Chain A
Amino acid sequence: MAKKLMKGNEAIGEAAIQAGAMHYFAYPITPQTEVAEYLARRMPEVGGVFLQAESELGASNMLFGAAASGKRAFTTSSSPGISLMSEAISYITCAELPCVLVNVCRAGPGLGGILPSQGDYFQATKGGGHGDYRLLVLAPSTVQEAVEHIMQAFDLADKYRNPVMIFADGLIGQMMEPVDFSTIKKGKPADHSSWAATGAKGREPHIIKTLYLQAEENEKHNIHLANKYKKMDIEKKSEIYGGLGKPELILAAFGTSARVCKTAIDQLNEEGIDIALFRPITLYPFDDVTISELANKKHVKQILTIEMNSGQMIEDIRLFTKSIKPIHFFGRQGGIVPSPEEVIAEIRKIIRN
């Protein structure tokens, strides 16, 4: 297939099918609904199942049930829906079932608005549901990257037997960009026969559960999970963009806000102002090494994080750089995407001081 101009939401649906996920459970919510609308047409064509659940609570627990089969399944939603899914996410993670969730993030809290936001960074990377659990979180910044992330997400979910979240936003879901499925390396679904619920023919029953009443037993399971999360560390990924060799200012941004930063950097680099972008591609695990190396460079004087929230990733930047350099923040909220002009103005203000 050649390049196709596709809406992010539709491309996400198609990517999941191409990754071999034939079962999809979801509930309508703007700005994500086109995934469901696309798959309502597409799943019957490929012999898959699209089920409109009665709620996100339903959809996410259907995902638990489906993932217990060892086959590839996924769901998509947007912020208020992800809140409702947080219960199931905790259970799925505890039961170590591979599956994929997409958050096409909109502005909160509460009902908020339907426009793009990155306000669920904490929810995605630090929890939302109860207990000690972690998700692998990928943050695409283009439609093509969203497609690649979906495909990688199923492989990562299989590899770690852990849910993977794609943290997109309303802009990536709603915009159209060229996508090319043919260039993407497709993984193969893993063999899950050692644990999946497939019927105990000729073997001991497989029990998929999250109850560990004995403290010692529960602790053992938690340690096992924690070790797994440590192993995930090798999956961390980031991009460094722009700069003229010795950047004095590092911008830190992911997803849509990183694109805005790239435009700002292009313009300022052209003017001879040396700044560069650090863009985490995985939000969990976070690329602590790269950002800390950058922060420790002599020529780097300051860091500026740009987010579409009131400052969430900045806490990780502070943590991983040990605040060795001054860290500033600029964000827009409520569904507003910061403009390159605003970012440039902020940068000028900072480097002047």
Chain B
Amino acid sequence: MAVNKIFERPVAMRENITHYCPGCTHGVIHRLVAEVLDEEGLREKTCGVAPVGCSVLMYNYMNCDFLEAAHGRASAFATGLKRISPEMIVFSYQGDGDLASIGTNEILHAANRGEKITVIFVNNAIYGMTGGQMAPTTLPNQVTTTCPFGRDTETAGWPIRIRELLSSLRTPAYIARGSAHSPQWIIRTKKYIRKAFKYQEENRCFSLVEVLSNCPTNWGMTPNESTEWIADNMIPYFPLGELKTPEEVDVPTQTMIGKDN
């Protein structure tokens, strides 16, 4: 009897058990990246850049070359490698503390220079690895160990919307926000990730996919409660969808120069 295999481990994933807490969606997002690398045949020419955060050990789970960056510097690491080896596919995978706090400078300038890299930005509204401190994406009034009375927008500002912030740059890019809280959105997010890698392969532009993610442990919730919390609290503030594609052409560069002179 012929057996039809309908589900298997992507070649781009190793046979290792992850260290993630039960219910954490980092594993799901790793898998989406791995499936895309498999399906697009990119694995053998890809190098990932791991952040400092819960996903620092991502290289133990992915079956491709990997660098481990300093905290916040993954997109700079990726830039360096991509510039010296433009034939490679280079992606960074970063949390919200890593990318949106300590690494804002690096990500802003990588995007602005239009580095042909792909960034997977995992937004779980908290610092997971260090035990639940406030992130730049922590929601107003959300309680963390460093905002024990809830995030006060008077002193901590409002959560940073990275998708929107980077989309405002003039340099062409592909920028989208997906989410790992529901099967529908996991499928949609995979499409975004595929597009992001395709744009890089075609040497078109910088690409970034933000993925809303959970942290049951530090949010103090069950996994189910945490995915509901994404739907009820995060998505209203962090709307999902593509915000910028390189096809959008606004003011032609020529006239801009003319105007400035």
Contact = CB atoms under 8 A, between A and B. Distances in A.
Q: Are both chains from one complex?
A: yes
Interface string A24-66: 0001111001001100110010000011101111000000000
A85 to B, nearest CB: 13
Interface in B93-118: 97, 101-102, 104
B246 interface: no
B175 interface: no
Contacts of B136: 54
A66 to B, nearest CB: 15
A168 B41 CA distance: 50
Contacts of A44: 149
A255 interface: no
A30 B52 CA distance: 12
A115 to B, nearest CB: 15
Query: Does more than half of chain A's interface fall in helix, strand or loop, or is it mixed?
Result: mixed
B133 A80 contact: no
A40 B155 CA distance: 12
A111 interface: yes
A55 B101 contact: yes
A80 B52 CA distance: 11
A37 B146 contact: yes
B147 to A, nearest CB: 7
B148 A29 contact: no
Name which of B52, B131, B133 has the most chain A CB atoms within 10 A of its CB.
B133
A28 B146 contact: yes
A101 B109 CA distance: 30
Contacts of B134: 52
Interface residues of A, number: 20
Contacts of B97: 28
Given A52-B133, A80-B70, A111-B68, A27 B102 contact: yes
Contacts of A27: 101-102
Q: Give the interface centre of B145, B146, B156 by most chain A CB atoms within 10 Å.
A: B146
Q: How big is chain B's contact interface, by range?
A: 20 to 34
Contacts of A29: 130
Contacts of B56: 111
Contacts of B148: 37, 40-41
Contact of A36 (B70, B71, B146, B155): B146
Contacts of B71: 80, 111
B172 interface: no
A110 B52 CA distance: 11
A28 B149 contact: no
Contact of B133 (A33, A41, A55): A33
B238 interface: no
B46 to A, nearest CB: 22
A29 B68 CA distance: 17
Contacts of A56: 102
B102 A28 contact: no
Contacts of B178: none
Given A40-B145, A40-B146, A54-B104, A28 B133 contact: yes
Contacts of B101: 27, 54-55
Interface in A50-95: 50-52, 54-57, 80
A33 B131 contact: yes
Interface in A6-31: 27-30
B127 interface: yes
A28 B130 contact: yes
Nearest to B102: A55
A36 B68 contact: no
Given A33-B131, A33-B133, A111 B146 contact: no
B216 interface: no
A37 B145 contact: yes
Contact of A37 (B68, B70, B133): B133
B130 A111 contact: no
Nearest to B133: A28
B127 A28 contact: yes
Interface string B48-83: 000010001000000000001011100000000000
A36 B133 contact: yes
Interface of A: 27-30, 33, 36-37, 40-41, 44, 50-52, 54-57, 80, 110-111
Instruction: Across the A-B interface, give the 7 residue pairs with the lowest CB-CB distance, nearest first.
Output: A55-B102, A28-B133, A28-B130, A40-B146, A37-B145, A54-B101, A52-B146
7 contacts: A29-B130, A36-B133, A37-B145, A50-B146, A52-B146, A52-B147, A54-B136
Interface of B: 52, 56, 68, 70-72, 97, 101-102, 104, 127, 130-131, 133-134, 136, 145-149, 155-156
Given A28-B130, A36-B146, A111-B71, 14 more contacts: A28-B97, A33-B130, A33-B133, A36-B133, A37-B148, A40-B146, A44-B149, A50-B146, A52-B133, A54-B101, A55-B72, A55-B101, A80-B70, A111-B68
